[in-house]
Structure 1
Amino acid sequence: MIYLKTAVGIELRGEDLLISALQSNFSGAVFNHFKRFADYRSRDKEELRQEIASFVKSSGLSKENIVLGIPRRDLILRYLDLPGEVLDDLKQVIHYQVQSFEPTEEDRFCYDYALLNRGGDGKRLSVLLVMIRRSLLDEHLQILNALGIRPTLVTGSSMALSNLFLRSRSDLQDKTYVLVDLSPSSMELIVLRRGAFAYSRPVPKQAGQSWAELMLQELNEATSKLRLEPEETLEKIVLTGEAAESAHAELAAVLQDCELIRNAVDLKIAGPHRPRVQEAANCIGLAYTGMVRRAPIRINLLPQELRTHQTRWAYVPAAILTLAILILAIVLACHRTFQNQALVRKLDREIEALKQPVQKVQSLRSEAEELEKRIRILEDRLCNRDMNLEILRELTNLLPPDTYLMTYTYREGVIQMAGVSASAPNLISLLEKSPLLKDVTQRGGIIKDAQTGKDRFSFEAKLER
C-alpha cells in the first residue's frame, strides 16, 4: 500500500522506550507499527541502536518526522490568567514569566505555551505554560542521539494523548472529559474542559491501595482545583495505559461512563496491533501530533536551534507522488471506459451477424409450434370420437355364436354388457384379449336361464385408449 505521510511517536515511559507509527493515505491515518524496548537506559547503546534501526527499516518508516513524548513527571505546568490587552505581546509576556521561574542562570527552562481560551468578554486570557529544565531535556536528547534518533518535535506525552482523544470529538462545548493513564505503579489524571487541557497531575500508587480508592481521591482533588460549576458534570472517564484493562472492571463498578480508550477514539488499526492500543495510546498520540498541521494542543519544547524548518520544497515529492497517483487513476478510469466502448462495438457486430440465423430459428420455431398445435387438435378429436361401433364390431368378432347380448351401454370410457351364453365363465378371458378392452370384471353371479338353459351374465370393462 502507498502511504503519503509517516509520523513516528516515541514515548519515554518509565525505563522503557515505546515507538509507534501512523501512516496516512487518501483514506486516513492507520496505526500499523509498534514496538516496546525495555530498559533502554541500562542496555548497551550500540546494540539497542541496531535493534531500533532494524525495526525502522523493516517497517519502512522514515526518521524525518519524529515526535518525542516527555513523561509528565519531568514537566512543569503553569496555568496563567492574563489580561486580554497582552495578546499582541503574549510571547514576550510568557518569556518574562518563565524567567521569573528560573532560580539561576545555569538552571534554565525550555518552554512553550498554548492559548487555551479567552474570557467571554475577551478581557482575560487563559494560557497553558509547559516547561522542562534544559539539563533534563538535553539528557533525554543525548540518549536518543546515541540511538540514532533526532526528534523534530518534543511535547508532553499527556498532551499528545489529549490530541488523540480530541481528534474525533465535535461535542466539546460545555463538556468535561477525564483521561486516566494507568501504569502498574502510578496514575496520571488529565481533565479536558471545553476542549482545553485544563488539568494534569501524576501520582504514585501506594502499596495495598486500590485503583478505585486512588481514582476517587484524584477526582476529588481535580474537581476541587478546577472549581466546576454546579451544572457541570464529568461526561466520560477514559482509561489508557498498560494497567487500564486490569483496572477497568474495578473502576467501572464505582464510576459511571468509564471506558477504555480503544473504544473512545476513531482510529484505523492494523489487525496485529489492535491488542496494543491501550499500551500504545500515548505513543499513537505523539505520532498523530506530528502528522496533523494543527493539533488541538500544540506544544514544542525543542529549543529553536535544534528545530528543523521544512521549506515548501519539502512537500514537492509528496505533491508529485499525489499528482502521479491522480493521473494514473484517471488513465485507469479512461482505459476502462474505452475498453468497455470497444467491447460494446464488438458485441454489436456479433449481434448483427447473428440476426439472420436467429430469424430463421425463430421462423422454424413458429412453424414447429403451429404443427404441435395441429397435432394436439387431431389427438383431441381422436380421443373424443364415438367408439360404440368399433366396440360392437369387436364384441361381434370375439363372442362365440351361442352368445347373445341383451343390453349394452358405453359412458365415459366404461362399458357395461349383459346377455346369455352357453359358457359364460369363458367369456372374460376372450374379452381380455381385445385391444380395445381392459379390466374386464363380472358383475353379480352367473344364473342359469330356465327357458334356454344358458348362463345369464353381466360384465363391465374399460375402454383401452
Structure 2
Amino acid sequence: MKKAHPKQPSHKTAPSPSRKKWGKALKGFFLAGLADERLSYKKTLCLSIEKGGIGAAVGRRLFSQVRIQGTKFYPFPEKEYPPPEFAATCLSLAVAELGGIGCPLILSLPKEWTVIRTVAYPSTVMENPSQAIRYDLDRITPFSPETAYYDFKTLREEGSQVEWVVAAARMETVDPYLKALREKGFTVEGVTVHVLGLLALALFLRKSEPVLLLSLDQEGYEGVLYQSQRTLKAFSALFNGTDPQAVSETLIRELSLVTDETESALVPKTVLVQAKEVDPTLIDRLRLGLPWPILSLEPKDLGIREGLVSAKPFPYQAVGGLVESLWTKAEGLNLLRQGRHEKPKPPLVLTVLLLILLALLAGFYLFTPLELERKKLQEIERQIAVQKKELKKVEALKKEVEEIHREISLIRNFKTSHPMSLVVLKELTALLPKNTWLTRVRISENQVQLEGYSPSATFLIPRLDSSRYFKKVEFSAPTFRDPRQNMDRFQIKMELEGWGHEKE
C-alpha cells in the first residue's frame, strides 16, 4: 500500500471553532429536507425468524431519536425455524398487540440462511458499483443475481482500492415467507440479517470498537467482528454437543481464530454477548477463558421501560433489525434492493421556499395580461384545429385516390409486360387433368418446361401437343413411378408457337 505524502503546512488562518460550528449548522439548515432523519417521523415493525419462534419489535424515530415501543416473542413448539404460515400468523398478532398497523415491515433472516463476504475492488468501480456486484455475485457467493436477494455497502475506501460488505440470501428460501406475509396483506419493504442488525444495535449503544458481537442459543452461535473503516467478519456454527465445558472451549477456540484471521490480528475492546436459553455458567466460562471484556446484552441497555418488556426470551434479533432500519448511521443493508442504490439529492429547503415566493409574486403581476393573451391563443388554436380536421380528411381522400391509381397502373404494367406468361398458364390450366399437378413451370422466350406428377404421364403429350400455343412436345427426362405418390413423375419441354398464329 502506498504511503500518503504529508501535507505541506498552509499559511491560511484556520477557522475558529465557533465559525466551524455555525458553518456546519448553516449547511445542515440549507441541505435539510422533510425526509431528513433529523426532522422526519418513522415507525417500523421488524419480524425476526429464529429457531424456536418468531420475534417482533416496533419502534419509531423522531428528530433522530430512536425509541423501541414494544416487543413480542411467539414460541414455536419445535426447536427449528418456523414455517412461513406460522410467521404470517405471528405478524398479524404483533400488528394488533404492538400497534403496528400501517408500519413498514422489515424481515430479519438467520445468518445460516445467508452469505456475508467482504470484497475489494479498484476504486474505478465506484462509477457503477451495482453493476460490478451483479457481475461478480456468483464469484463472491454461491448464488447468481437471478436467484438471490443481495445488497452491499462500502466498508472502507483507501487509495485506489475500495472494500465492500456483500450479503446475499437464496430466493427460494426467502420467497415462501414473503408470499405468506403478502397473502396476509403485508408487504415486506426490507430484508436484513440477524448479525447485521445486532451489530447496528451494538453501535447504537456506543460500544467501543473493535466490537465482537456474539449471539448464543442451545444449538449454536452466530456473530460478527467489526471495526469501522477496517473489518467486518461474520461467522456462525452449530455446537457439537451440549456440555457447557465443551461448548465454552469450542467458542473460545473459534473466537480466537476469528480474531487471528483479521488484518493485524484485531483485538476486540468489547465482546457483547446475547444469550438465549443457554447454561447460566457459559458466560462466566467465557469471561475466564477470553482475554477481552465481556458484556451481556440486557433489555435495560436499550432504554425500554419495564412495562414494555413483555417478550421472553427477549427478541434481540428483531430489535437489532429495527434499529438498523431506523438509525440511518447504521447504513443498513436491504437485500430486496438487489444492489440497486439511488443517490439521494439533497433538498434545499430555504432556497426552494424563496423561489416559490418569488414565483408567486411574479405570477400575481403577470397573470392578468397573460391570461387574456392565453384565451385569445386558445381560440385561434381551436379554429386551427377545426380546419385541420377538414384538411386531414381531404388529404386522406387524395392519398386513397393516388393509391388506387397506383394499383391500377401496376396491374396494367404487369399485364402488358407479361401477356405470354398469363396466356400460357391459362392454357396449361385448361389442358391438364385435375389429377395432375405441377411442381415447376419455367417459361422462357420460346420454350416452356414443366415438372410434376400425373397418374399417366404419356397421356399428357398428345393433350399438350393439341394446343395451338405449343409444338414439339416431348419428355426432357425419363419418366419414373414415385411409389410414395403412386404417380408418374415427369419432365416435359415444348416450344412456343408464334404469338397469335395457328400451328402448321
TM-score band by shorter chain is 0.5 to 0.7
The residue that corresponds to 2:49 in the other structure is 12
Counterparts of 1:26-37 in structure 2 under 5 Å?
28-37=65-74
Corresponding residue for 1:258?
294
The alignment partner of 1:253 has SS state of helix
Q: 1:305 to 1:114 in 2, by over 3 A?
A: closer
Q: Distance in 2 between matches of 1:103 and 1:259?
A: 35
For the 8 Å contact 1:70–1:157, the answer to whether it is kept is: yes
Of the candidates 234, 237, 241, which is equivalent to residue 207 of structure 1?
Answer: 241
Partner of 2:217: 183
Matched, 1:242 2:286: no
Aligned CA distance change for structure 1 residues 297 and 202 (closer, same or farther; 3 Å): farther
Q: Match for residue 193 of structure 1? A: 227
Q: Does 241-250 or 152-161 show the bigger shift?
A: 241-250
Q: 1:159 aligns with which of 191, 196, 202?
A: 196
Query: 1:217/1:63 Cα in 2 relative to 1: closer, same or farther (>3 Å)?
Result: farther
Q: CA 1:149–1:213 in structure 2 vs 1: closer, same or farther (change >3 Å)?
A: farther
Q: For this pair of structures, how many residues does the alignment match?
A: 300
1:65 is matched with 104
Residue aligning to 2:317: 282
AA partner of residue 18 (structure 1): G
Q: Does 1:82 align with 2:121?
A: yes
Call closer, same or farther: CA 1:219–1:270 in 2, change over 3 Å: same
User: CA 1:217–1:279 in structure 2 vs 1: closer, same or farther (change >3 Å)?
Assistant: farther
Residues 73-97 of structure 1: CA deviation (Å, up to 9, x unaligned): 0111221111222222222211111
Identity %: 16
The CA distance in 1 between the partners of 2:279 and 2:331, in whole Å, is: 27
3-state secondary structure, aligned to 2:333: coil
Structure 2-normalised TM-score?
0.52
Structure 2 spans left out of the alignment, 5+ residues: 1-39, 347-504
Paired letter, 2:285: E
Alpha-carbon distance, 1:290 to partner: 2.1
1:220 and 2:259 aligned? no
Aligned in 2, Cα 1:78/1:165: closer, same or farther, shift over 3 Å?
same
- Hey, which bits of structure 1, 4+ residues long, moved more than 6 A? 40-44, 102-107, 304-307
Shift of 1:58: 3.6
The one-letter code matched in structure 2 to 1:109 is A
Give 1:151 shift.
1.5
Q: Any idea what the Cα deviations from partners look like across 1:166-191, whole Å, max 9, x if unmatched? A: 124385xxx41110000111111310
Q: CA deviation at 1:107?
A: 6.7
Q: Which amino acid aligns with 1:71?
A: P
Q: What SS is found at the alignment partner of 1:234? A: coil
Deviation string, structure 1 residues 342-378 (Cα, Å, up to 9, x no partner):
xxxxxxxxxxxxxxxxxxxxxxxxxxxxxxxxxxxxx
Q: Is residue 149–residue 335 contact of structure 2 (8 Å, CA) maintained in 1?
A: yes
Aligned mates of 1:138, 1:189 — CA distance in 2: 25
Shift of 1:37: 1.9
In 1, the alpha carbon distance for the partners of 2:337 and 2:222 equals 26
Q: Report what 2:5 is aligned to.
A: none
d(CA) in 2 for partners of 1:271, 1:102: 42
1:254-298 C-alpha deviation (Å, 9 max, x unpaired): 2341111238x9532021345859732221111112223x24242
Amino acid in structure 1 at the alignment position of 2:248: A
C-alpha separation between the residues in 1 aligned to 2:114 and 2:89?
Answer: 30
**How far did residue 57 of structure 1 move?**
2.3
Counterpart AA for 2:118: Y
CA distance in 2, matches of 1:239, 1:170: 12
What is the RMSD of the two structures over their aligned residues, measured on CA atoms?
3.7
> CA 1:50–1:142 in structure 2 vs 1: closer, same or farther (change >3 Å)?
closer
Alignment partners' CA distance in 2, 1:106 and 1:116: 21
Report Cα offsets for 1:132-187 as digits up to 9, x if no partner: 1122221231233344432211111110111111124385xxx4111000011111
Aligned residue for 2:213, secondary structure, equals: strand
- Structure showing greater radius of gyration is 1
Q: TM-score under structure 1 normalisation?
A: 0.56
Helix, strand or coil: the match of 2:270? strand
Q: Distance in 1 between matches of 2:240 and 2:43?
A: 40
Give me the whole-angstrom Cα distance separating, in 1, the residues matched to 2:262 and 2:256.
10
Alignment of 1:270 onto 2:309: no
Tell me the distance in 2 between the aligned counterparts of 1:27 and 1:296. 12
Which amino acid in 2 is paired with 1:164? L
Whole-Å separation in 2 of the counterparts to 1:20 and 1:137: 20
Structure 2 CA distance for aligned equivalents of residues 248 and 170 of structure 1: 18
Contact 1:117-1:126 within 8 A present in 2 as well:
yes
Partners in 2 of 1:22 and 1:237 — Cα distance? 26
Amino acid paired to 1:179: L
Distance 1:156 1:176 in 2: 20
What displacement does 1:31 show?
2.2
Native 8 Å contact 1:64 1:152 kept in 2: no
Among 121, 125, 130, which residue is 1:91 paired with? 130
